[in-house]
Amino acid sequence: MRKLVPLVVDALLVILFCAIGRRSHDEAIFTGLLKTVWPFAAGLAIGWVVAVAVATRGSGEQKARFDGTALWPTGVLIWLGTLCGGMLLRVISGQGTALSFMIVAASVLALFMLGWRAAVKVIN
């Protein structure tokens, strides 16, 4: 169960990111939230799959144990997967990907996804 906590935190932060974005543009938060969330949620899933694959590659004693709270490489891979996967899926689905949005999304998602991991490392 504890192994799922980082994934749940990331998912909640992606939802928060999308809700803040919708609110900042005076769009209905709850009625359109799923449309905004799904590309980033799919990107989050991609990021997690890649992070787990990278962390657990190898065999025997060389095989690393996956840590969902690790800033590097786990957090960075999850952030990049969420951002790049989300943007790609937004393009495919006809949603906006203006440069200013990509910069804001990259910054906020980095703060959210890397920030809590850095805070956990400082506290522990």
pTM of the model as a whole: 0.93
Confidence of residue 27 (pLDDT cuts 50, 70, 90): confident
Mean pLDDT of 10-38: 91
Query: pLDDT tens across 91-111, in order?
Result: 999 998 999 999 999 999 999
pLDDT of residue 60: 64
HEC states along the chain? CHHHHHHHHHHHHHHHHHHHHHHHCCCCHHHHHHHHHHHHHHHHHHHHHHHHHHHCCCCHHHCCCCCCCCHHHHHHHHHHHHHHHHHHHHHHCCCCCCHHHHHHHHHHHHHHHHHHHHHHHHHC
Mean pLDDT of 77-103: 97
Residue 77 has pLDDT above 70, yes or no: yes
